[in-house]
Structure 1
Amino acid sequence: MRARPLSQKVLSRTVCAVLGTVAFACAAQTTSLQTPWGTTVNEPLLPAATAVCAVVKATQTPVNGLLPASLDSDPAKSAPDTASMQGKINQCASGEAVHLVQGDAGQSGFLIGPITLKSGVTLWIDKGVTVFGSRNPADYDNGVGLCGIANTDATASCNALISASKVTGAGIVGEGVIDGRGGAVLTSGQNAGVKTWWDVAYQTKTANVTQHNPRLLDVEGGSNFTLYGVTFQNSPNMHVVLDKLDGVTAWGIKILSPSAAYTQGAYACPKNTTPDQVSGTYATCFTPDTVKNTDGFDPGESSHIVLAYSYISDGDDHVAVKAGSGTGSQHLLFAHDHLYYGHGLSVGSETNTGVSDVTVQDLVVDGHDSPNGVGIRIKSDASHGGVVNGVTYQGVCMQNVRQPLVFDSYYSSSKGKKYPWFRNVTINGLHDLGSVAYGGGQAVFAAYAKEPLQIALSNVQFDGAQPTTYMKGHNGSPSVLPANTVFTFGPGPVSFAQDLTQQHGTGVSFDGSITASPAPVDCSHAFVKFSSVQANAPI
């Protein structure tokens, strides 16, 4: 069995579970997690039959994970199921659920434009059911008139497919799928018939422009929000964005972009089919490295957040904990999660208002040797930096990751006087099995002299080649890295400690001692294929 230092399952017998104001089905036993802030979070349960206020039957028939283009080629018919789904949500009372199920003839799809969740009401998407988003930018446009294009205007212009504002006790549960159709060709506006959502997004890599694409789920304000078992995939932009919430449980969710419907096996796209290679027309095949800004799970200015037993593979940050305005983010637990393609379990880059009490337990990262792959990361810069205090990683397994460790106060070249300060960062038990393409990868430690990085390392072991730590500076940092870092080693070994002590830049100091010799974190059963938990994953 794999070592799980502080994250073993705790089983508690229950009669029924209640999340917020929503009554959930009774069960003999549920899995629970003890949080670092002293509470117990139970695995959610599906709603009881008596809590279902409306059953909505699917009307569309997907083929190989896609809706036929003829179904919504007419922009006037782009979202036929929006009104019925929104109407059922609106009519439900607090504590009730809307259940989306297959149609009488086996239909398994819904096609909607933006909908809004309601306090106390749960959207339950049944196994085998997919909610597809419209590919008509006009359905999402918030009145600015820019949705579906990329230009130099940074004004937010698209509503999310699913949104909520100041809700209490709401959520989305079930084993169904929410699909943003990021690889679908747009049907209105200046990019109609010539670009997909992801082609629009890729323009930000080739020109100094902003993409105007919708998010999949955007919740702002409220408390006791639940995500359970649902798959979020193929978002045109970020998948799950949670701002200014107190109390979120996301358990057993999957986030995937792109799915098998928009690529080929193992993302082996033919030449001249991806957004970085096509010219004058839309791409027909996508990889995680070409679906830009598709963050997985982004909590910002939020507290008491749990992401557990979940799987994420995307084209940007797996997780991005942000604190750009308001009261900051604190009390976050990430436990038993698996990450694949993506830019890491990240804190930042906006840390203005502070991030504290972040715990990562039993994390598995397989970066598939992506050139953009990151493992764990804290990032910010002088334009929107702040204090990040108390981030702990325990029981981490990694392989095939280009940058396993990144702690970077010079994340961008933006200037200002809001200097980042990363304090009390601890890695206690990390085992990296190496990478065919990148060996031990890169470990980045870069901070300001007045705000030095404080990091403690114990039982941090890399097999074979060790990570490169001695490197050139970037974005105005000291010319040689590591720089301005206080390292504390021990009691467990650090396999690259000697490299750090022998070669480093200015402002680096060392403390602690190696007094114990525990075995490396057991990763023998850690790595699983994404397709083993989500059949339409190409990896």
Structure 2
Amino acid sequence: MKQRMNLCILLSLFILLNSSLAFAAETPDFEHLDSLLPTEPKLPKNVCEQLSANLVAHNWRLADEIDNDPKNSSPDSQRIQTALDNCAAGSAVKLVTNEKNNAFLSGPLSIPSGVTLWVDKNVTLFASRSPADYDLGDGICGDALPKIKNRCQTWITATDTVNSGIVGEGALDGRGGSVLTSGKRAFKSTWWDLSMQSKAKVKLEQNNPRMLHVDGGKNFTLYKISLFNSPKFHFGSNDVDGITVWGIKLVTPSLAYANPDYQCDENDLPRPGKLDQPSRCFIPELVKNTDGIDPGTSTNVTLAYSFITTGDDNVAIKSGGKNKQSPASRHHLYAHNHFYYGHGMSIGSETDAGVHDIKIWDLVVDGNDSGHGVGLRIKSDGKRGGNVTNVTYDGVCMRRVKEPLVFSPYYSSTKSTKLPPSMQNITVRNFNYVDYPKAKYNKTVINLSGYKTDKLINPLGLTLDNVVFPRQPRVRDKHHHNIHFTLGKGQVVNFPLLGTDTNSVTDLRDPSLTGQAPYSCDDKFKAFPSPASPI
């Protein structure tokens, strides 16, 4: 009898153990993934020249009196550029405070090969707000015109550099919400007012400078720097091998141009079709084309331990082929990042040169119930499509996001089928969409589809593994066809589109994992760690 009781106890323990394992959440192997990351950058050991600030910023902003006269638009340009040009490779130009002075003001700058710009803690380098400083010689910069765009020089550039970068715990501020001081729109507009004209009934194109662009070269680094208020894209690259962005904070618009929680009076906001007076307050939804990090046709890219809130894509991996020799965007790592306002972790819309081998893990997205909020997105169309393959999202926590998943080859209304998009081997694993009390977007929208013409079908190849929604999302628009779903061993809860007439399903789910706990999002959502942030 005693032996029989012991057997019963052992059997009960065995059943209990297996039951608890079935309901336990699978822990992603972040340790293995983290081994793929490059070594964390360090601040430079060698400083070739230290420059002291001559200006004072209050509440993250320069007083207008400092540079209302465009003749005084960039008082620090020459001394910063001279110091950069005279700096030996392997050294840094360091911008530091000087008693109460904490600000620099410059027009366009160029970073030489092997040289680092170091913006020290409590220092801000501000961009000129005079369009004349960025003009390419035709007077178009600082205006909004039909079908004419990109007629401004980028504020900070690096061309064919090796081992260059921008580091430090200070900030770069593009002053996108400041009143322009030269050109046709002087004292009538801000850079972001120009951007809003893309939404006017007569669509106009903005001519605004980008903040930072790296063209060619190897091993460019952004480390710990804060990026604020770019008039257009914050960081972009083209044909670069080796980009490391680590520990940055990107805030647009910051408290310099907004109120806490973005509580702006409607009369102070930008208005489409109106360029007669500058706006006085901004919200993320109305600062158009202010992408955060846009690596284009670049390889070996890392974005890690960073915080991004902006008015457009938080990240947009691009691969627009200027010619047949343009490289694909390949081997990208995105780890331990937090996104807030923005259009999410995006690929596209230019994918014609190809995007391959992208790994994203431990991503937290809190969309703050923005009507423009997106989580994970791959976007392309028949005019600029290409092959997007081997993309894995592992360990994603998301809340208050209108469109958590958008994998669409119909990004625009183009009728062109010249470059058909193909999205294959896309995996979403350990994804948890979290309800938030009284949130507008507890019930969400997804947008998924393969690509189809009269002559061609490119199915969307999508694997789902431990993907949980608290309630079933709504499906957006007519395009949700030709999807091949593979269901991994983990549960898939409240997911639409499975097994419809034009979609197929390969079901590999493990019955023992039915009812498993979702991927844990405990303590994942964090306040934005910058006093300049309105959220």
Does the aligned pair in 2 maintain the 1:6–1:394 contact within 8 Å? no
Query: What SS does the corresponding residue of 1:415 show, helix, strand or coil?
Result: coil
2:94 matched to which residue of 1? 99
- Given the alignment, which residue of 455, 459, 467 partners 1:460? 467
Does the aligned pair in 2 maintain the 1:398–1:433 contact within 8 Å? yes
Could you tell me how far 1:160 is from its partner in structure 2? Answer: 1.2
Could you tell me how far 1:472 is from its partner in structure 2? Answer: 3.0
1:360 matched to which residue of 2? 360
Letter of the 1:466 counterpart:
Q
1:27 matched to which residue of 2? none
Letter of the 2:333 counterpart:
L
- Residue 530 of structure 2 is aligned to residue 527 of structure 1: no
Structure 2 unaligned spans of 5+: 1-24
2:484 matched to which residue of 1? 486
Could you tell me how far 1:468 is from its partner in structure 2? Answer: 1.3
Does the aligned pair in 1 maintain the 2:385–2:421 contact within 8 Å? yes
- Residue 42 of structure 2 is aligned to residue 42 of structure 1: no
Decide whether aligned partners of structure 1 residues 116 and 4 sit closer, same or farther in structure 2, where only a CA change above 3 A counts.
farther
1:137 matched to which residue of 2? 131
> Structure 2 length normalisation: TM-score?
0.90
CA distances 1:15-64 after superposition (whole Å, capped 9, x unpaired): xxxxxxxxxxxxxxxxxx422xxxx511111112xx10000001110111
Does the aligned pair in 1 maintain the 2:196–2:272 contact within 8 Å? no
- Given the alignment, which residue of 47, 51, 55 partners 1:56? 51
Residues of 1 paired with 2:27 and 2:283: CA distance? 32
Could you tell me how far 1:3 is from its partner in structure 2? Answer: 8.2
CA distances 1:473-531 after superposition (whole Å, capped 9, x unpaired): 1xxxxxxx42110001121011124x3236x4x5211112321244211111100111x
Letter of the 1:185 counterpart:
V
CA distances 1:334-375 after superposition (whole Å, capped 9, x unpaired): 000000000111000000010000000000000000000000
2:447 matched to which residue of 1? 444
Residues of 2 paired with 1:301 and 1:8: CA distance? 28
- Given the alignment, which residue of 100, 105, 109 partners 1:115? 109
1:472 matched to which residue of 2? 477
Residues of 1 paired with 2:31 and 2:58: CA distance? 40
Residues of 1 paired with 2:29 and 2:156: CA distance? 35
Does the aligned pair in 1 maintain the 2:485–2:504 contact within 8 Å? yes
Residues of 2 paired with 1:233 and 1:59: CA distance? 20
1:374 matched to which residue of 2? 374
Which aligned pairs between 1:305-316 and structure 2 lie closer than 5 A?
A: 305-316=301-312
2:214 matched to which residue of 1? 219
Q: How many residue pairs end up in the alignment?
A: 495
Residues of 2 paired with 1:299 and 1:100: CA distance? 27
Letter of the 2:35 counterpart:
Q
Which piece of structure 1 moves more, 412-421 or 106-115? 412-421
1:21 matched to which residue of 2? none
1:286 matched to which residue of 2? 282
- Residue 108 of structure 2 is aligned to residue 124 of structure 1: no
Which piece of structure 1 moves more, 231-240 or 488-497? 488-497
2:410 matched to which residue of 1? 410
Question: Percent identical across equivalent pairs?
Answer: 44
Could you tell me how far 1:276 is from its partner in structure 2? Answer: 3.0
Residues of 2 paired with 1:181 and 1:534: CA distance? 17
Could you tell me how far 1:69 is from its partner in structure 2? Answer: 0.5
1:333 matched to which residue of 2? 333
Higher CA-based Rg: 2
- Residue 293 of structure 2 is aligned to residue 297 of structure 1: yes
Decide whether aligned partners of structure 1 residues 524 and 511 sit closer, same or farther in structure 2, where only a CA change above 3 A counts.
same
Letter of the 1:7 counterpart:
F
Could you tell me how far 1:281 is from its partner in structure 2? Answer: 1.4
Residues of 1 paired with 2:26 and 2:227: CA distance? 29
CA distances 1:142-178 after superposition (whole Å, capped 9, x unpaired): 2232110110243531111111111000000010100
Letter of the 1:201 counterpart:
S
Residues of 2 paired with 1:407 and 1:375: CA distance? 11
Query: What SS does the corresponding residue of 1:43 show, helix, strand or coil?
Result: coil
Decide whether aligned partners of structure 1 residues 211 and 278 sit closer, same or farther in structure 2, where only a CA change above 3 A counts.
closer
Letter of the 1:521 counterpart:
Y
Which piece of structure 1 moves more, 126-135 or 149-158? 149-158
Does the aligned pair in 2 maintain the 1:434–1:441 contact within 8 Å? no
Could you tell me how far 1:278 is from its partner in structure 2? Answer: 9.1
Letter of the 2:285 counterpart:
D
Cα RMSD after superposing both structures: 1.6
Letter of the 1:495 counterpart:
V
Decide whether aligned partners of structure 1 residues 408 and 269 sit closer, same or farther in structure 2, where only a CA change above 3 A counts.
same
- Residue 509 of structure 2 is aligned to residue 514 of structure 1: yes
Which piece of structure 1 moves more, 268-277 or 177-186? 268-277
Which aligned pairs between 1:15-26 and structure 2 lie closer than 5 A?
A: none
Letter of the 1:92 counterpart:
C
Could you tell me how far 1:415 is from its partner in structure 2? Answer: 2.4
Residues of 1 paired with 2:222 and 2:477: CA distance? 42
- Given the alignment, which residue of 262, 266, 283 partners 1:267? 262
Could you tell me how far 1:139 is from its partner in structure 2? Answer: 0.3
Does the aligned pair in 2 maintain the 1:410–1:447 contact within 8 Å? no
